[in-house]
Amino acid sequence: MTIIITDDDVKRLLPMADCIEAMKVAFRDFANGVAVNRPRMRYLAQHPDPERKYLANVHVGAVPSYGIACVRAGSQIIKPPSAKVDRRLYENPKAFNWGIVILYSIETAEPLALMHEFQLSGIRVGATTAVGVDAVARKDAATLGLFGTGKQAHAALEAIACVRPIEQVNVYSPSAAHRAAFVRDMARGGLAVVAVDDARAAVAGADIVCCATTSMNPVFDGEWLEDGQVVVSIANSDVTNKRSEVDRRTYERATAVIVNDWESVIDNDQTELLDPLKDGVIRADQIHELGDLLIGKTTVAQPPRGSADKGIVYFKNNSGLAIQFAAAGGLVYNKAIAQGNNKTIPTEWLGSDLSAYYDAGFRPSP
């Protein structure tokens, strides 16, 4: 039987710490040439309403360490950025997210699960941010400057706090109401979460500056950055959309730029990095893939406090990867099976019966 894994299942079965470990496995496998990942493919299609577009978002890849190959298929109706609203708005007519991940067995090629991807997407992005932070940030990094108050910002704070002893969070978004709600949601235990009403206050004094927004444009001035900080961003361009949460000055001050996948930078035409590279603002030898840090192929480290080193380390969490869905999905699938998931459909419904061909000695190709 093929099981259905819902968003509620993901929230129950995928604690952030477990997802962080799954991302480490995925990126190590990728760097070692074991995992398979194709750059995500997105396209826009004409919609009956001229102010809207149909958006597809597709990832394919495999992580053999989990025995899983996957296809993530996202399907959305959007309003593109306009003069009135500087961000892409997701507006499915029905209040549903139609993204789904199909998990396949590498051993048998059978579809093991159909999985909702909404909750998983936030968790795996946050977990990947934590993997990058864990690879480069000082062990005693305790202050976080956070831009954003939505799903991705919640996940980023939870994830970073798993790998560093965060004590102080200064959070900024343009909406005071959103800032206040975020503080109510996230202030717990010994963690001080403070809403600041000025973007510069989120940067000042932070060990780590993390951008987790839907903004189309830079959310702070790179001149505000302090030497020795680690900067993280998740917004990136693709062939349908040009955006960046950091400005050219941030690249000028970077001693190293870390990306998830260089092939995705090229394939998705992420001009916010390609243009500074072309213009000589950043050099190719300053750019490193996250997996290479995890396997020790290259080393990047945040300098100790009080160091004379100039510049910042920038982790451009530059693209969603299929290996993230395969690794996290495999982890959730194994837990769901162990707990007796009862949401099942016959696997045969998802395939074509070729037994007559096999009995006749033929092996038709797909």
The residues pairing with 76 across neighbouring beta strands, listed in sequence order, are 55
CA dihedral 123→128→130→134, nearest 10 degrees, is 160
> For position 193, what pLDDT does the model report?
96
> For position 331, what pLDDT does the model report?
97
* 233 vs 218: CA distance, rounded Å: 10
2-120+321-338 architecture in CATH? 2-Layer Sandwich (3.30)
> For position 82, what pLDDT does the model report?
77
Which percentage of the chain shows pLDDT scores above 90?
Answer: 84
* 281 vs 249: CA distance, rounded Å: 9
* 258 vs 317: CA distance, rounded Å: 8
User: Is pLDDT above 90 for 50?
Assistant: yes
Please state, rounded to an integer, the average pLDDT across all residues of the chain: 94
Count of CB atoms situated within 10 Å of the CB of 312: 24
CB 226 within 8 A of CB 234: no
> For position 102, what pLDDT does the model report?
98
Common-topology check for domains 2-120+321-338 and 132-316:
no
pTM: 0.94
The residues pairing with 46 across neighbouring beta strands, listed in sequence order, are 53
Which percentage of the chain shows pLDDT scores above 70?
Answer: 99
Domain ranges of the chain: 2-120+321-338, 132-316
Query: Is 132-316 in CATH node 3.40.190.10?
Result: no
* 190 vs 339: CA distance, rounded Å: 33
> For position 207, what pLDDT does the model report?
97
> For position 74, what pLDDT does the model report?
95
* 329 vs 68: CA distance, rounded Å: 8
CB 55 within 8 A of CB 239: no
**Alpha helical stretches, state H, the chain:** 7-13, 16-31, 118-136, 151-163, 176-186, 199-203, 248-253, 262-267, 271-278, 290-294, 322-338, 355-359
pLDDT band at 26 (very low <50, low <70, confident <90, very high): very high
pLDDT digits (tens, 9 = 90+) for 121-156: 999 999 999 999 999 999 999 999 999 999 999 999
CB 137 within 8 A of CB 210: no
End-to-end alpha carbon distance in the chain? 22
Which is nearest to 196 in space by CA: 168, 225, 159, 234? 168
> For position 38, what pLDDT does the model report?
96
> For position 89, what pLDDT does the model report?
84
* 294 vs 119: CA distance, rounded Å: 26
pLDDT mean over 71-88: 86
> For position 85, what pLDDT does the model report?
75
* 55 vs 60: CA distance, rounded Å: 17
pLDDT digits (tens, 9 = 90+) for 213-267: 989 899 999 999 999 999 999 998 887 888 899 999 999 999 999 999 999 999 9
User: Any residues with CB less than 8 A from the CB of 323 and at least 6 apart, and which?
Assistant: 26, 27, 29, 30, 35, 36, 37, 61, 62, 63
User: Is pLDDT above 80 for 201?
Assistant: yes
The H-or-E segment that residue 111 falls in is strand 111-116
pLDDT band at 307 (very low <50, low <70, confident <90, very high): confident
CB 154 within 8 A of CB 179: no
